[in-house]
Structure 1
Amino acid sequence: MTTLEKAKLWLSDTFDAETRATVQNWIDTNSPELEDSFYRELEFGTGGMRGIMGVGTNRLNKYTLGQATQGLANYLHQQFPGEEIKVAIAYDVRNNSKEFGKMCADVLTANGIKVLLFKEHRPTPELSFTVRDKKCNAGIVLTASHNPPEYNGYKVYWNDGAQVVPPNDENIIKEVYATKFEEIKFNGNDDLIEWIGEEQDDVYIDTCMENSLYQNIGRDNVNIVFTSIHGTTYTTIPKALSKAGFTKVDLVKEQMIPSGNFPTVESPNPEEPAALTMAVDLANITNGDIVIGCDPDGDRLGIAVRNLDGEIQLLNGNQTNMILTYYILDQWKKAGKITGKEFIGSTIVTSDCFFDVAEKFGVDCKVGLTGFKWIGKMIRDVEGQEKFICGGEESFGFMTGDFVRDKDSCGSILLACEIAAVCKAQGKTMYQYMIDIYKEIGMYQEGLVNVVRKGRTGAEEIAQMMVDFRENPVKELAGSKVLEVKDFQEQTCLNVITGERKVMNDIPKSNVLIYYTEDGTKVCIRPSGTEPKIKFYFSVKDKIENEADFKAKQASLEQKINEVKKDLKL
């Protein structure tokens, strides 16, 4: 079917007058919007969907979201026949999120499904918690994470509070694509909606405190600066910090105002130092020890602390997670809670430093594909046999305990602030604590390059780049021979020296390549599943014995990463 033929289907009475008028205008004026809005269906993938809001099959709107929700409703009835089915729904601050949340609730209630709907914006991890706490069959959150303002998204959670994984994800996708737009039931039944709000915040925050706090040392003497970057965590983090006894908390007031336009930043992404500029400026006035910012849906967190020169510096996701993980395991070991049946969770693109930390404390480090849903699956797969302690991924996500089955900024922030307080009480900074960890396990330096290619031609270019790296693997990186190539799409591991190719079937297929060199350098190449980009993750390492050597070691490792980039023509 041609793009024009697809577009003309949206001129039927199934669609509202405004939608029909927009499509007709594009056809009449031969608008370029027609091609990009209809050339494909917005992919409902294994993690839900994310896209630009607007009219068309390749856009997020009432009809594409309605189709997804109707498909989910159909699948829930198949899986839980004869039961009262409950679904929790949350939404972030993005434009249209609240309206989309109510629309999804209407589709579910029109299908006889009870909905627990948050009255206002709430963080994604609170939705994950609520699914478990309220014993729901599923959950939905409307969010596009840290994407630009024109985006929104839709994620589905299962009854364990984790995002859906096989076989449920694939079966839901089949139901979604089998649903025709005219089959969507939009006429909801408000009698089947239970509204939830602040009372649920308190239960969630209390559980975060139980799972994330260990030592009540110096909480009244650590200077914290926090920003929600216009996102949902204005509802939870200030209250959580206050409840936990952190008394010196300064908020970036301009950014505590929720807004889907994110007016004070170019990108509401705490992975980018620019997003924390206002918070850092405030910390320099208040003599802040730790600066924290969250993304719009409140699952990611960025942490900045004072470096060896006393300047506020953003830690990368691997550094933050390493500090949090090491501290937790140290506390567990001191409490005699490590029995040999515990594990931490990580992902294939995350630093290998977590293997070293896990080995030091005698716990297992399980690794899955990118995305916290795979860490959630790890927990479910061994529930009752092994104990999950914590988990993280390089993209600024971490969770403590298994009460939430997704990355959770609230519990992670409480933990980070405790570490900052303990360090300050001991006369050191969190940055120095990080260097102390490097001295024990080896020093790692990571890097990330995003190559953006938009539109249909961009998608084709990204696909070809993966073909080239797969068929013509790099032989050497920064003067170090490539020893091993892991291909997660082919599920093989190639020993470059011997030519032996082993099967890897412990991790599901994914379009990811990882190169390992003889000096421990690691390069991971992966197209993004949610954005028009291909990502290159770098990790290099060296030994360090003294804090005085840190800057020189860091400069040396940065130079090595630059050489790797050059070898990859980036």
Structure 2
Amino acid sequence: MCPRRGRCLRERHGPVRPAQPEGGRDEAPACRAAGTGGNGGRPGSGPESFPLPCGPGLLSPARIMSTQIRFGTDGWRAVIAEGFTFANVARVAQAAADYWRDHPVPGCDLRVVVGYDRRFFSDRFAECAAEVFAANGYEVLLTSMATPTPAVSLAVRDRRCIGGVMITASHNPAIFNGFKLKSHYGGSSDPETCRAVESYLDRSPVRRLAAAEAQRQGRLRRVDLQPPHVRTVRRLVDFAAIGRSGLRVAHDALFGAGAGAFEALLAGTTCQVTSLHTEHDVLFGGLNPEPIPANYGPAAAFLRRHPHDLCLVTDGDADRLGAMDGRGRPLTTHQLVCLVLYHLHCHRGLKGRVVKALTLTSMVDKMCSAWGLPLLETGVGFKYICPEMIKGDVLLGAEESGGMGLPGHIPERDGLAAGLMLLELLACERKPVRRVLLGLERQFGPHRYGRHDLHLPQARVAALLDRLRNAPPDRLGRWPVAEVKTFDGIKLIANNGAWLMLRGSGTEPVLRIYAEAATDTDVRRLLKLGLRWTRQV
């Protein structure tokens, strides 16, 4: 590989040949063919009620309709071609269209934004959803290219839309795709809205209007949402300070929708930008597009050979942020949140409430206590943080997965905005990021963190959590348990501040085990303890 500033570093992969459904047929034409007559598998000039696709190599209507759709932490996700099919995407879009029509929002039009990431067929799934909304009388703004989720959320708010849809499975493996719901305020729909949309499933027949016909009728427009997002994010920071800093910035896009974003954000500045893994690879280079150290290997190897000041890492839809220092050593998402909080309060002099997911480091608690900042702890998922941001007076909303919501911005996590905020911090400090972190550790003590994801059937996960809630252990190894929290899984906090937490994933059959302590050794012990508990059910 030959690095070039501002250019993509290309990793070589074999050709990607997506598997065909049984019978060698693509599902999309079949989905569109039903009830259309002889027009090439497209609906006619008007909206039609679509029977479900069936035929050789396709699922029967009964089997498709029996597919359960359940909204998790941030919308609905399923395996592509198993649960995540064109028929089911259309069902969910119809439910959302029916719900939003029945629940108008003052000041908002019957307009939706539909965006998508770089996953297999995301563009086609997005077009399918757009056709449903168009057939139901909505004005539809469909992104013209793969687009970061925060850009879609921003457009929902700024264009007075009643809602939005993002086709993405975020950080999940490549076999998944998903349907994120965005509400009129430009953030994740709250749990009540998600449950309500779920309850609207199959209340009315699916209606679709071919995209070409919807465009001809003026019901659908294809739009580029990235330039307005770039302008908005630049206004959030001291862009002049960043612009003259001369920082050497690497960005690992993990083959996701954030590819090229920091080149656009930092265009015209003295910063040097190196973009990594920006190719469109629906297999994400064989990794999950999640900003965690396990996925940093190729970028870390490059940084060891070619040092930078900071490497920013975005997930599959660029709403979450990870990072490495300039020599490829990982920074945890907990450290990034603490850095941003430190910068907002100590450099900018801002105050306000801090809202954090309960899986986030307790260093945030200590910082808030020392600086007199009110702290609120929520369940996992930005949909719990978003309502607090809408209320106002929130300095920072943050979660363990790298999602951060910033003051003066949409009530939504934005990995690109958080990345620029870190660059502003470095421009202010004029010192390596590791030295800034050492200063925080001297003030608030060392905090080490670990997480283990264990694939378990959901029934076993539920049984384990019920058992622990009903009879919580009174010790974490050698430490007495001082506090137990059960509003999202179970979190056991020891008398020295160390903690262990177990919860089920909202989107996968996975048990997540989290631990924090003062040393890596103690973190490993806590994780092993959590694993031992799983063998008891």
TM-score (norm 1): 0.79
Report matched runs for 1:449-488 at 5 Å: 449-453=452-456, 458-488=457-487
Q: Are the counterparts in 2 of residues 390 and 399 from structure 1 also a CA contact under 8 Å?
A: yes
1:558 and 2:520 matched = yes
Q: In 2, distance between residues paired with 1:327 and 1:435?
A: 15
Determine which of 238, 254, 262 is the counterpart of 1:237.
Answer: 262
Q: In 2, distance between residues paired with 1:524 and 1:109?
A: 44
**Aligned equivalent of 1:116:** 141
Q: In 2, distance between residues paired with 1:414 and 1:370?
A: 24
**RMSD (CA atoms):** 2.5
Per-residue CA deviations over 1:346-367 (Å, capped at 9, x if unaligned) read: 1111112212222333322222
**Count of residue pairs the alignment pairs up:** 479
Q: In 1, distance between residues paired with 2:253 and 2:191?
A: 33
Report the AA paired with residue 97 of structure 2: A
Report the CA distance shift for 1:450/1:46 in structure 2 as closer, same or farther (over 3 A): closer
Per-residue CA deviations over 1:301-350 (Å, capped at 9, x if unaligned) read: 210015xxxx52111111111111111111232xxx54xxx212211111
1:78 and 2:102 matched = yes
Q: In 1, distance between residues paired with 2:383 and 2:173?
A: 23
**Aligned equivalent of 1:514:** 491
Q: In 1, distance between residues paired with 2:314 and 2:454?
A: 24
1:269 and 2:290 matched = yes
Per-residue CA deviations over 1:264-284 (Å, capped at 9, x if unaligned) read: 34222221x242222222222
- What is the Cα deviation at residue 214 of structure 1? 7.0
Report matched runs for 1:293-312 at 5 Å: 293-306=313-326, 311-312=327-328
Q: Are the counterparts in 1 of residues 78 and 84 from structure 2 also a CA contact under 8 Å?
A: yes
- What is the Cα deviation at residue 441 of structure 1? 2.1
1:256 and 2:278 matched = yes
**Which of the pair is proportionally richer in helix?**
1
**Aligned equivalent of 2:368:** 358
Secondary structure in 2 matching 1:278: helix
Report the AA paired with residue 471 of structure 2: N
For structure 1, list consecutive stretches of 5 or more residues without a partner in the other structure. Answer: 1-9, 28-33, 489-509, 542-556
Q: In 2, distance between residues paired with 1:472 and 1:361?
A: 37
1:442 and 2:432 matched = no
Determine which of 400, 404, 411 is the counterpart of 1:398.
Answer: 404
**Aligned equivalent of 2:434:** 431
- What is the Cα deviation at residue 150 of structure 1? 1.1
Q: In 1, distance between residues paired with 2:512 and 2:72?
A: 19
**Aligned equivalent of 1:491:** none
1:96 and 2:121 matched = yes
- What is the Cα deviation at residue 389 of structure 1? 2.2
**Aligned equivalent of 1:193:** 220
Secondary structure in 1 matching 2:483: strand
Report the CA distance shift for 1:558/1:194 in structure 2 as closer, same or farther (over 3 A): same
**Aligned equivalent of 1:534:** 511
Report the CA distance shift for 1:516/1:221 in structure 2 as closer, same or farther (over 3 A): same
- What is the Cα deviation at residue 379 of structure 1? 1.5
Report matched runs for 1:195-344 at 5 Å: 195-197=222-224, 200-213=225-238, 216=241, 219-243=244-268, 245-252=269-276, 255-262=277-284, 264-271=285-292, 273-306=293-326, 311-333=327-349, 337-338=350-351, 342-344=352-354
Q: In 2, distance between residues paired with 1:522 and 1:81?
A: 42
- What is the Cα deviation at residue 388 of structure 1? 2.1
Report the CA distance shift for 1:41/1:179 in structure 2 as closer, same or farther (over 3 A): same
Q: In 1, distance between residues paired with 2:402 and 2:73?
A: 21
**Aligned equivalent of 1:141:** 166
Report the AA paired with residue 22 of structure 1: L
Report the CA distance shift for 1:141/1:175 in structure 2 as closer, same or farther (over 3 A): same
Q: In 1, distance between residues paired with 2:470 and 2:376?
A: 29
Q: Are the counterparts in 2 of residues 514 and 523 from structure 1 also a CA contact under 8 Å?
A: yes
Q: Are the counterparts in 1 of residues 502 and 530 from structure 2 also a CA contact under 8 Å?
A: no
Secondary structure in 2 matching 1:519: coil
Report the CA distance shift for 1:46/1:436 in structure 2 as closer, same or farther (over 3 A): closer
- What is the Cα deviation at residue 215 of structure 1? 7.2
Q: In 1, distance between residues paired with 2:526 and 2:359?
A: 16
Report the CA distance shift for 1:569/1:275 in structure 2 as closer, same or farther (over 3 A): closer
**Aligned equivalent of 2:28:** none
Report the AA paired with residue 301 of structure 1: L
Q: In 2, distance between residues paired with 1:275 and 1:398?
A: 20
- What is the Cα deviation at residue 220 of structure 1? 4.1
Secondary structure in 1 matching 2:452: strand
1:418 and 2:424 matched = yes
Q: In 2, distance between residues paired with 1:192 and 1:121?
A: 21
Q: Are the counterparts in 1 of residues 337 and 398 from structure 2 also a CA contact under 8 Å?
A: yes
Q: Are the counterparts in 1 of residues 500 and 530 from structure 2 also a CA contact under 8 Å?
A: no
4+ runs deviating over 6 angstroms: none
Q: Are the counterparts in 2 of residues 231 and 256 from structure 1 also a CA contact under 8 Å?
A: yes
**Aligned equivalent of 1:23:** 59
Q: Are the counterparts in 2 of residues 327 and 419 from structure 1 also a CA contact under 8 Å?
A: yes
Q: Comparing both chains, which one has the higher relative contact order based on Cα–Cα distances under 8 Å and sequence gaps of 6 or more? A: 2
Secondary structure in 1 matching 2:247: coil
Deviates more, 1:130-139 or 1:358-367: 358-367
Q: In 2, distance between residues paired with 1:81 and 1:484?
A: 42
Q: In 1, distance between residues paired with 2:109 and 2:462?
A: 44
1:347 and 2:383 matched = no
Identity over aligned pairs, percent? 21
